[in-house]
Amino acid sequence: MRSGGRSDPVAALIRAATHADAAAVGAIYDHYVRETVVTFEETEVGANAMATRVADVQSRGLPWLVVECDGHLAGYAYAGPWKARSAYRHTVESTIYLAPGHTGRGLGLPLYRALLDALRACGTHAVIGGISLPNAASIALHEKVGFRPIGRLVEVGRKFDRWIDVGYWQLLL
């Protein structure tokens, strides 16, 4: 799928992740582990662990997509099970990350829309997005694709010596 950016169009290709993408996906994610509270992981993951994660998601019949821009992997989005119990099987939790230097270029919206289209195609009913707060950009992206806020958990994470709230957004497909 080809998509464009906002005011300065960016040629992008959105496709399913492959094993060969694991190192680039891991590098993007590890930046967020090291530098931000966007993820609550505190130890870098690396290529091998990321390859296992991608394979696990895809083995469940769920999408893991990447976006390429100018020949480089610029971000990824995927959905994993919300909870393990069988009654939750039609609900997933979505995740999206863009590489540093690729945020604000109009890549997130088409990537998230492609993820939601793939989730519709595989019979998903509800999508949950968890956002470490504050995070105005992530909130705006989720709401732009139709998510609505459903709750806030106060001080449930601790990273970089501070307490972090998590907000939850939901989209019914």
The pLDDT, as a whole number, for residue 11 is 75
Alpha helices in 84-128 (DSSP H): 108-121
Identify the pLDDT of residue 3: 43
- 164 to 83, 157, 170: CA distances (angstroms): 22, 5, 20
- The predicted-structure confidence for 141-164, as pLDDT tens digits, reads as follows 999 999 999 999 999 999 999 999
Of 110, 98, 109, which Cα lies nearest the Cα of 25? 98
Splitting the chain (173 residues) into consecutive groups of 10 residues, what average pLDDT does each group show? 45 93 97 97 96 97 96 96 96 97 92 98 97 96 98 98 98 98
Within its chain, how far is the Cα of 87 from the centroid?
A: 23
Nearest partner of 10 among 77, 97, 68, judged by Cα: 68
Domains of the chain by start residue, with CATH: 2-172 (3.40.630.30)
pLDDT at position 128 is 98
- Which string of b and e fits 73-84 if b means at least 16 CB within 10 Å? bbbbbbbeebee
Question: Residue 102: which region, alpha, beta or left (left: phi > 0; alpha: psi -120 to 50)?
Answer: alpha
